[in-house]
Every structure is written in structure tokens, then in C-alpha cells.
Amino acid sequence: MSSRTESSNASADVGLNEQYTLHVNGEFHDVMDAWVGESLLYVLRERLGLTGSKGACEQGECGSCSVMVDGQLVCSCLVMAASAVGQPIVTIEGIAPVGVPTDVQQAFVDAGAVQCGFCTPGLIMAAHALLERTQEPSEFEIREELSGNVCRCTGYGRIIEAVQRVSIQRTATSASREADS
């Protein structure tokens, strides 16, 4: 009977006390005493202290936990942190230097697209992902990209306007640079 108990205890410890390193926002972070099944969201918030990504649904439905992993927008609540080893991870904290908003962040403020702020980090990450892929997205493309993010305060009109503002601004800046060269 004791060997059965020892066997049960050994299998219960599998995956505990693991160590790995994540490359987050340009820096390497050691994750110690981890369980390999911990979500990336949990590790970012609880182990690394990066609380910009929010945990709401824990099912990948609301988008409040959105981050970039290896250049792809993902819901960090659905990604096991250990599976992101060796891949660059960018969170809302890492898209710009502290105190210097990106053009997307500033546009959200200017357009009044920020209400309670809970969903804002995920929406901004989604907007950045879209604008990196598509310089001049249509309103339909903006709505489609942001459809994975739930906001209960704004009604999305101002959020869409903010993304459109950035698109127009970036297009004008690009055209100006081309004219100067």
C-alpha cells in the first residue's frame, strides 16, 4: 500500500517547481517554482508583476488579456506560459517607453475611447496588431479585428474613430516622408 501512495504523490508533483525564462518586453525574466500549466496571463500578472493585461473571462472571449507572442495577437489566458519560451512577448507595458504613449494610445485618449479602462489594454494591443498588418484598414476591418474584445462602456464608436485617426495620421506621415525623399 505504501508504494501505491508514493506513486500517487510522485505523479502529483509532476510539473511543479519548474523553471524557465520568458522574453517579455525586450527583457529576459526567470520564472521560478512554476507549474508548467500556468497561463501566460497568470505568469505575467502574478509572477512578473505586469498587470496591464487584465483577466476577465479566462476563456479567450473578452480580449482584455491580449498580448503579442512572436508577433501574433493572442489571448494570454489561453496560452500556457511555458509554451512561450523562446518567443518574444510584448505586453501593453512594452509597446512604448514609460510615460510616452504610442500614437494608438494617444488617439484613444484624444477620441475619448477610454472609459473605465479595463478593456483598453487589450483593445490597444489589437489596434496595434491591425495597424502593423494593414496601414489603411477599412471600418469593416477595424470592427473585425476588434471583435474579439469586449467593452461594456464605450459602444465602440470612439474606439473605431481612434484607430481610424491613427491610420490617417500614419498614412499622411508616410506620404510626407516619400515626398521628402
Which tens digit of pLDDT belongs to each residue from 116-167? 889 999 999 999 999 999 999 999 999 999 999 999 887 899 999 999 999 9
pLDDT per residue of the chain (181 residues) written in tens, 0 to 9:
444 444 444 445 556 788 999 999 999 999 999 998 999 999 999 999 999 999 999 999 999 999 999 999 999 999 999 999 999 999 999 999 999 999 999 999 999 999 888 999 999 999 999 999 999 999 999 999 999 999 988 789 999 999 999 999 999 987 777 787 7
Cell digits for 132? 502593423
Helices (H), ranges, 94-136: 103-110, 120-133
- Alpha-carbon distance 76 to 68, whole Å? 9
First to last CA, the chain: 81
Tell me phi and psi for residue 139, to 5 degrees. Answer: -60, -40
- Alpha-carbon distance 162 to 64, whole Å? 18
Calculate helix-pair angle for 120-133, 157-180, nearest 10 degrees.
40
Q: Tell me the three state secondary structure of residue 137.
A: coil
Residue 86, phi-psi category: left (phi > 0), alpha (psi -120 to 50), beta (remainder): left
Q: Which residues 6+ apart lie within 8 Å of 128 measured at CB? A: 68, 95, 102, 104
Domains parsed from the chain with CATH numbers: 16-94 (3.10.20.30), 103-175 (1.10.150.120)
Specify the pTM.
0.86
Cell digits for 74? 493572442
